[in-house]
Amino acid sequence: MRTLSVLAAAGCLVVASLLSAGCLGSGILAGGNSPSHEETLDEKVDRIVSSMSITEKVGQMVMIGIHGQTVTDDSLYMLHQYHAGGVVLFDRNLASAEQVTALTEQLQAQADEKVPLFIGIDEEGGEVVRGRDFLTPPPSQREIGTAGEVTAAEAWAGKTAAALKQLGINVNFAPVADVGSPGQRSYGSDPEQVTKFVQAAAQGYEQHRELYALKHFPGIGRSVVDSHQEVSEIGGSKEELLNSDVMPFRTMIGERQPEDYFILVSHLKYPAFDPVNPASQSHAIMTDFLRGELGFNGVIITDDMEMGAVAKHASYRQLGVNAVEAGADIVMICHEYEHETELYLGLLTAVKQGDISEDRINESVKRIVKAKLLHLN
């Protein structure tokens, strides 16, 4: 008995020494079975998303345009009342490098959200560039592709990424991954060539940790109708589309980290996948094909919902609901505050009424928050 008493006393002394030295973790002191550990990225994402209200979650899923070259009462209202998770800038917002930097800083400061804003732009090159007075416009993708130097695609993407990042713009809606687009927007008409150039451009963006968007899934290169005006169909069998139009997207999905880029979905119809709905409204295309068959687990964003291909055929409230039900994570609507408000309220109402489950919303918001934590902090 005396021996046991001595051992017990010695044990108490050892524990006391460890406590005073801070050698026992708080998990043990609290009665847990394991010491505390550093929070993982996925745990941080879960914690942030679980702290958000429904209105905040829905806001993360909407990317809007604003008017003016400073933060105005109208844009503040959109950020504060509807918790918009992203803003896309156009020439109407851009005057000089100093002004744009001030604007993006103001937007981030005023957003007052749990994660930063996505701030995006279309800086493709050629015909589609912004801020020509202070941003060096890249050559068109067709020029780069025709010249045949794959390294030029990487170099220009890197140069563009660095310039945008300095301005506080963290997403570029480029490169165009379409095969054979009319005009100057595609790297070419050969799917293997386009794939190589898109891969190179992605490398340029990733070197600067700039988010980019492959567009316009599943490919609009065959279209002869401008989707800003009206919807059209892309013909061909599924096998034919897989071996041509879809090839650049499929290759990128197989080799890149999904958190490093968005896939922007078009408003065109693809009867081989869905005979009824345009891609941005199609569960068969976004969920069954892009998520299921191709295995993409990054952020899916729609093209602008004010484009005639969809805006002429449904209300803004319904378009946003359709897109999210079909599988979109972010719905883009770029121009009129009234339309942006309608789209947001349509989504919010659908969630509150149970037409869209909170679990479905959480799936998208977790993808969005993860991309923001990796690239915007």
pLDDT tens track for 110-159: 987 899 999 999 999 999 999 999 999 999 999 999 999 999 999 999 99
Residue 5 banded pLDDT, cuts 50, 70, 90: very low
Give the pLDDT of residue 46: 97
| Least-confidence region, from 18-32, 93-107, 234-248, 344-358 | 18-32
Asked if the model's pLDDT at residue 302 lies above 80, the reply is: yes
Asked if the model's pLDDT at residue 101 lies above 70, the reply is: yes
Residue 28 banded pLDDT, cuts 50, 70, 90: very low
Asked if the model's pLDDT at residue 19 lies above 80, the reply is: no
CA distances from 327 to 18, 262, 292, 343, 370 (A): 53, 13, 11, 16, 17
Give the pLDDT of residue 311: 87
CA–CA distance, 64 with 197 (Å, rounded to integer) = 30
| Least-confidence region, from 33-37, 149-153, 289-293 | 33-37
Q: Could you tell me what percent of the chain has a pLDDT over 70?
A: 88
Give the pLDDT of residue 83: 96
Between strands 274-278 and 269-270, the pairing is antiparallel
Select from 351, 306, 302 the least CA-distant residue to 323.
302
End-to-end CA distance of the chain: 61
Query: What is the pTM for the complete model shown?
Result: 0.89
| Least-confidence region, from 1-5, 80-84, 113-117, 169-173 | 1-5
Q: What is the mean pLDDT of residues 254-265?
A: 97
Query: Strand runs (DSSP E) across the chain, as ranges?
Result: 62-65, 86-88, 118-121, 171-172, 211-217, 261-265, 269-270, 274-278, 299-302, 331-333
Q: Could you tell me what percent of the chain has a pLDDT over 90?
A: 83
173-225 pLDDT, tens digit each: 999 999 997 789 999 999 999 999 999 999 999 999 999 999 999 999 887 65
Asked if the model's pLDDT at residue 66 lies above 90, the reply is: yes
* 266 contact partners, CB below 8 Å, separation of at least 6: 215, 216, 217, 218, 219, 220, 227, 278, 279, 280, 303
- Averaged pLDDT of the chain: 90
Give the pLDDT of residue 56: 97
Q: What is the mean pLDDT of residues 157-179?
A: 97
Give the pLDDT of residue 36: 67
Question: Is 332 in contact with 290 (CB distance < 8 Å)?
Answer: no
Asked if the model's pLDDT at residue 377 lies above 80, the reply is: no
Asked if the model's pLDDT at residue 100 lies above 80, the reply is: yes
Asked if the model's pLDDT at residue 7 lies above 60, the reply is: no
Could you tell me which residue, 36 or 340, shows the higher pLDDT? 340
309-319 pLDDT, tens digit each: 898 989 999 99
